Amino acid sequence: MHLRRSATAALGALALVLAAPTSASAADGQFRYTYLTEEGYEAVGFLNNPPSGQCINLHGVGSDDLPPGHSPKNRTDATAVVFLNADCEGDVFFSLRPHTGGGSERLKVRSVVFS
């Protein structure tokens, strides 16, 4: 009798797990970049556990009327593709490998997408 109840409970739990909606995939870790504020000060922007497969315009640099950011560092567990243009558009982009990928001050960025 106890075996039947245990099996029924296990099947019920499995059904709940399979029926639950899955959360959006995210890159675990942090993405960093440097940019100039409107006042002309250098600042560091962060993205913590960013969503995967979604273009992100970076704060402080995601507009053409602002200077682009630079020196991106990918400390997430996903590949980051950075773009010079906003909205992940254009043919100027660069891939940063997971955990250790980074670029120098010469690598300009406005948007990023994680795999």
Burial class (CB within 10 angstroms; exposed 0-12, middle 13-18, buried 19+) of 108? buried
pLDDT score recorded for residue 67: 92
Q: Which CATH homologous superfamily contains domain 29-114?
A: Crystallins (2.60.20.10)
- DSSP one-letter string for 26-86: B--EEEEEEEE-TTS-EEEEEEESPBTTS-EEPTTTSSTTS--EEEEEEEESS-EEEESSG
* pLDDT surpasses 90 at 6: no
More confident residue, 85 or 7: 85
Q: What is the pLDDT of residues 25-78, one digit of tens each?
A: 799 999 999 999 988 899 999 999 999 999 999 999 987 778 999 999 999 999
- Average pLDDT of the chain is 84
11 pLDDT more than 90: no
DSSP type of residue 19: H
